[in-house]
Structure 1
Amino acid sequence: MGYEPRQCQLFSCNHLFDPRLGKAWLNTALLDCCPSVFFPFTAYFALQVIHARWQYRISPPRTTGHPEFELVFRAQVNCSEYFPIFTWLLWVAGLFFHQAVAAACGLLCLYTHLRYFQGYAAAAQGRLDSLYASARVLGLLLGLAVPRLLAHFLLPCCSPWMAVLVRPLQHLGAW
């Protein structure tokens, strides 16, 4: 008689699967909207850099020159650097916590990135309020994602491989 891990509904991702479409289809429409919305933001940031290059006559590949151009360029680079972190946190929070909450946080994070870009492009000190707001939203996504992610992989009721590792402890009565 083999060990059968018990089903754990608390940390399950079953709410993401649409039974009408089968297990192969992940129902993540809300999560898909945030990265899709980010690309127009990225295009806007890139167009602002192109405009600043034209306005201050700075040809590529130079990244230095007029101070106003450097502000716009640096704001665009900083926003692009946050995208992988944002995307990972958004998806993990959406898959392991709640899709709608993660999507709302994602849209809020995109708004703070826009405010960050606009503030930084105007003056270096103008970025601080939106930088802190963005960090708080990313921290919230991290707080939503990590506990559920760890629970999913570390609790034996949710992870078959962990159940195999915990079986000897269960026989000893230590788990």
Structure 2
Amino acid sequence: QTVALERINNVLTPAIEHIQTVQDKGFLLAHSSSNVALVDEETIVFAIGSEAERSLFTPSPFLSITREANATDIGIARRIGWDAISGNLTVQIETAFGDGLAHDDWVISATAGVTEAQRSMLDEVRVKHGEVTTKSGEVSTKHGETLLAATVAVDAKDAAETAA
């Protein structure tokens, strides 16, 4: 009985505690209070403060970065480096959305290989957004020209009425 209890205390209890930590914190998720902004193409270092999260976190080649406070500040990043001992995660931001300001409540999660397809789709959306912005500017220019022509026509009508 003594040997069995010793085994339980030395082997099974730590294993059960580790499983509980994985259930509580997850192994594809980490939190960082690094005060940084997500900016396209920037290299950023996130410090993962929790030792338990550092021991469990397994960053994939692509990562999703969001804030705890909202879901509007988000980014997709490519992992550059990971040091589980120091907790430093170096990433390059591939695509970022949101206010572009520095925040300190980041949630970093490993993502599947589908991220590359998502990044490609976002690149296409950016191109289309640029085209729409250009067309919008052209429409605004034409609208201004139309207003000017209408003003000239009204002035000509007024002049014709005055002459008549």
TM superposition score normalised by structure 2 = 0.27
TM superposition score normalised by structure 1 = 0.26
In terms of fraction of residues, the more strand-rich structure is 2
In terms of fraction of residues, the more helix-rich structure is 1
Larger Rg: 2
